[in-house]
């Protein structure tokens, strides 16, 4: 979530026809490679990070919380500034929704955060502050300008509330129906603040419950929060000390590591370094199992009735972390957790620094008595659902490298962490099960996603587009995650695994704690390639990222399957109640249950 991922800074790999311009490009490339190699040999002094000290009181039963945070902001720009900005992510509204800043009654279906006061951390003097950008940005005017490399401390008091989500919105049936609808109708999906700030089925997720510093790119603040089908949280790395107090009997898990014993009155303190966000999961009935892998506490968090599935997720997470550490280098985090939560349909998972969430709908224990009450069509899909869960765990653990440790802008360059994480999941399968299994997963989870999308009438698209250009999770998964991952598969064949792995290790070390761009990755690959292969890297990037050659490189639509299911040859938005759409939905229903693993 740290790009999420410079959003439109990647200008593409343009071919020049004039010989002298080609020579200039080659010279520039050589100088860039030399500079990167020099930087790798001469480590720079780590930049001082921002820090948060937060005291949070959560009233689980009333769906509210109050908090105070002391934030230390470091000016990494080149000019003094007397204004700093914070994001208020719970106030994000989409479509025709509006955030009411005048204290009017709040839409109970959305979360909300209100700033009560802002003071200087030096002498407790009140500071002027105001809400901007439809309530998603807090502007704070400092008393004096902060010079470059200088710092300022502010203290913010705030309160918030979260909605209660209807359990029917989170069931496995609803998840699959949502996927079918996206495939048939090409409906536009947009992530909402309630997707990661809610309570449902006795579990509360606070994915962005506090004012968080906006990203500052040089001397420019990245204030705009742009909702899309992708992630909308985009933060810089910071150090955290967070104390959370909750109702009796409510278990609390966070992105950080528990520090000291729990105090029944003041709560439990959690600390962590270099996180891009700090998420909180709370509830009665939550359980956890953990193991240590190369100095990191790997933890699985689950509801009591999903113990068998939760333990299996722990095994997968531990193995994935072991594989990725060997390939890319050690993580800077002390704790990495995989947790279940009742996410709304359309959102199968979400990732935060140190804490990954998978929809409870996919935590299906097929050996439990409760599953006997599910339709047979679901029980028949045990292998598919279990394979989907394993893929999701491996993919999410990879996000701790690509998105958390190395940041990127998810709105402008979602490819950078999504495609890398999908490709990394393939490496997990190869290391864990061998070539044959990895090849099967490649066909099913990656190539199969793209072909299914095209079979349902979806258009091939460029892979390096901003997240707003993708209509829904079906299209996003097929183009960004699947097609993007296949570029790295192609690079493996072109350069060889060892050169690609070496380049990824250098990219990881060079951009650790930073916000990377696609050009940084390209330069890392060029640096490890022999001179005769460097042009091939440019051609590979162009073919997979800016060309529409997916049918040629991956697979064309399955016309026989489309005819069998009575699918149209092209996706077209359809009106609610359209009889043709309803008939298609009925015909495709069973087929989609069998394809549940292929859609994220």
Residues 139, 136: Cα–Cα separation, whole Å? 10
pLDDT higher than 90, residue 328: yes
Give the confidence band of 262 by pLDDT, cuts at 50, 70, 90.
Answer: confident
The candidate with the shortest Cα–Cα distance to 490, out of 430, 447, 459, is 447
The first and second tokens of residue 150, run together, are 């200088």
Continuous H helices in 442-558:
448-455, 473-476, 484-495, 497-511, 518-528, 531-541, 550-553
Q: Report the pLDDT value the prediction gives residue 31, as an integer from 0 to 100.
A: 37
Contact 476, 467 (CB under 8 A): yes
* 217 phi, psi to nearest 5 deg: -95, 100
Residues 380, 497: Cα–Cα separation, whole Å? 38
Question: Across-strand partners of 66?
Answer: 57, 159
pLDDT higher than 80, residue 314: yes
6 or 279, higher pLDDT? 279
The first and second tokens of residue 235, run together, are 């933060």
Give the confidence band of 102 by pLDDT, cuts at 50, 70, 90.
Answer: low
* Region 516-522 average pLDDT: 97
pLDDT higher than 70, residue 271: yes
With 0-12 CB in 10 A as exposed, 13-18 as middle and 19+ as buried, what is 330? middle
Q: Report the pLDDT value the prediction gives residue 2, as an integer from 0 to 100.
A: 37
Continuous H helices in 293-381:
307-328, 376-379
Residues 207, 150: Cα–Cα separation, whole Å? 30
Residues 269, 534: Cα–Cα separation, whole Å? 50
pLDDT higher than 80, residue 447: yes
pLDDT higher than 90, residue 571: no
128-137, 257-266, 423-432, 463-472: the lowest-pLDDT one: 257-266
The first and second tokens of residue 88, run together, are 């208020």
Residues 333, 109: Cα–Cα separation, whole Å? 34
Mean pLDDT, rounded, of the chain: 87
Q: Report the pLDDT value the prediction gives residue 219, as an integer from 0 to 100.
A: 94
Q: Count CB neighbours of 570 within 10 A.
A: 10
Give the confidence band of 574 by pLDDT, cuts at 50, 70, 90.
Answer: very low
Q: Report the pLDDT value the prediction gives residue 406, as an integer from 0 to 100.
A: 98
Residues 545, 548: Cα–Cα separation, whole Å? 8
Residues 428, 438: Cα–Cα separation, whole Å? 8
Q: What is the pLDDT of residues 1-49, one digit of tens each?
A: 433 333 232 233 332 233 333 333 333 443 344 444 444 444 445 578 9
* Distance (Å) of CA 312 to CA 64, 300, 509: 33, 9, 31
Give the confidence band of 53 by pLDDT, cuts at 50, 70, 90.
Answer: very high
Give the confidence band of 104 by pLDDT, cuts at 50, 70, 90.
Answer: very low
* Region 431-448 average pLDDT: 95
Class of domain 19-44+404-598: mainly alpha
| Residues sharing a CB contact under 8 Å with residue 403, sequence separation 6 or more, in sequence order | 1, 2, 3, 4, 5, 351, 410, 417, 421
The candidate with the shortest Cα–Cα distance to 416, out of 532, 341, 514, 556, is 514
The first and second tokens of residue 482, run together, are 């699947």
| Residues sharing a CB contact under 8 Å with residue 319, sequence separation 6 or more, in sequence order | 428, 432
3-state secondary structure 225-238: CCCCCCCCCCCCCE
The candidate with the shortest Cα–Cα distance to 399, out of 305, 336, 448, is 336
Residues 550, 460: Cα–Cα separation, whole Å? 6
- Structure-token match 């989409």, residue found: 94
The candidate with the shortest Cα–Cα distance to 515, out of 400, 419, 410, 418, is 410
Classify 588 as helix, strand or coil: helix
Q: Report the pLDDT value the prediction gives residue 103, as an integer from 0 to 100.
A: 55
Percent of the chain scoring above 90 in pLDDT: 73
Q: Report the pLDDT value the prediction gives residue 491, as an integer from 0 to 100.
A: 97
Question: Across-strand partners of 74?
Answer: 151
* Region 565-585 average pLDDT: 54
Contact 236, 516 (CB under 8 A): no
Q: Report the pLDDT value the prediction gives residue 184, as an integer from 0 to 100.
A: 80
Classify 165 as helix, strand or coil: coil
Q: What is the pLDDT of residues 352-404, one digit of tens each?
A: 999 999 999 999 888 888 887 777 776 777 888 888 899 999 999 999 999 99
| Residues sharing a CB contact under 8 Å with residue 158, sequence separation 6 or more, in sequence order | 66, 67, 68, 69, 113, 114, 115, 116, 210, 211
Domain ranges of the chain: 19-44+404-598
With 0-12 CB in 10 A as exposed, 13-18 as middle and 19+ as buried, what is 300? buried
| Residues sharing a CB contact under 8 Å with residue 175, sequence separation 6 or more, in sequence order | 345, 346, 348, 359, 361, 362
């Amino acid at each position: 979530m740290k790009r999420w991922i410079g959003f439109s800074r990647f200008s593409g790999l343009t071919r020049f026809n004039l010989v002298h311009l080609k020579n200039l490009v080659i010279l520039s490339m050589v100088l860039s490679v030399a500079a990167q190699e020099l930087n790798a040999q001469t480590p720079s002094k780590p930049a001082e990070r921002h820090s948060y000290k937060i005291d949070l009181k959560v009233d689980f039963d009333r769906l509210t919380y109050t908090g105070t945070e002391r934030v230390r902001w470091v000016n990494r720009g080149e000019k003094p500034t007397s204004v700093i900005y914070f994001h208020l992510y719970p106030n994000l509204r989409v479509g025709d929704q509006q955030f009411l800043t005048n204290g009017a009654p709040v839409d109970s279906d959305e979360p909300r955060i209100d700033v009560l006061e802002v003071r200087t951390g030096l002498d407790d003097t009140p500071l002027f502050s105001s809400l901007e950008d439809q309530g998603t940005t807090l502007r704070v005017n400092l008393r004096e300008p902060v010079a470059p490399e200088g710092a300022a401390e502010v203290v913010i008091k705030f309160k918030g509330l979260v909605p209660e989500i209807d359990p029917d919105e989170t069931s496995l049936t609803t998840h699959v129906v949502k996927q079918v609808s996206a495939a048939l109708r090409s409906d536009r999906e947009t992530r909402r603040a309630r997707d990661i700030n809610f309570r449902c089925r006795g579990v509360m997720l606070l994915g962005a419950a506090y004012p968080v510093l906006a990203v500052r790119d040089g001397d420019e603040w990245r204030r705009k929060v742009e909702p899309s089908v992708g992630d909308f949280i985009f933060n810089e790395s910071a150090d955290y000390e967070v104390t959370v107090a909750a109702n009796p009997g409510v278990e609390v898990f966070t992105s950080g590591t528990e520090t000291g014993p729990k105090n029944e009155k003041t709560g439990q303190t959690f600390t962590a370094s270099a996180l891009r966000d700090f998420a909180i999961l709370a509830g009665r009935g939550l359980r956890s199992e953990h193991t240590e892998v190369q100095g990191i506490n790997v933890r699985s968090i689950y509801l009591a009735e999903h113990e068998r599935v939760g333990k299996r997720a722990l095994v997968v997470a531990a193995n994935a972390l072991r594989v990725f550490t060997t390939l890319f280098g050690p993580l800077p985090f002390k704790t990495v957790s995989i947790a279940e939560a009742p996410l709304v349909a359309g959102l199968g998972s979400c990732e935060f620094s140190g804490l990954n969430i998978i929809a409870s709908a996919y935590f299906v224990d097929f050996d439990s008595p409760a599953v006997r009450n599910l339709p047979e069509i679901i029980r028949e899909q045990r292998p598919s659902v279990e394979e989907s869960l394993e893929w999701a765990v491996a993919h999410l653990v990879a996000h701790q490298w690509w998105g958390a440790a190395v940041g990127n802008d998810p709105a402008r360059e979602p490819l950078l962490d999504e495609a890398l994480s999908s490709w990394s999941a393939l490496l997990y399968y190869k290391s864990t099960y061998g070539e044959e299994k990895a090849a099967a997963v490649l066909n099913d989870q990656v190539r199969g996603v793209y072909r299914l999308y095209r079979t349902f009438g979806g258009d091939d698209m460029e892979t390096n587009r901003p997240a707003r250009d993708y209509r829904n999770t079906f299209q996003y998964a097929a183009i960004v995650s699947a097609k993007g991952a296949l570029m790295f598969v192609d690079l493996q064949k072109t350069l060889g695994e060892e050169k690609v792995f070496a380049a990824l290790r250098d990219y990881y070390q060079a951009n650790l704690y930073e916000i990377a761009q696609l050009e940084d990755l390209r330069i890392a690959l060029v640096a490890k390639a022999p001179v005769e292969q460097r042009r091939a890297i440019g051609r590979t990037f162009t073919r997979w990222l800016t060309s529409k050659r997916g049918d040629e490189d991956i697979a064309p639509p399955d016309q026989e399957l489309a005819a069998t299911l009575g699918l149209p040859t092209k996706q077209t938005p359809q009106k609610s109640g359209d009889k043709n759409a309803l008939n298609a939905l009925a015909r495709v229903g069973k087929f989609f249950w069998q394809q549940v693993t292929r859609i994220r």
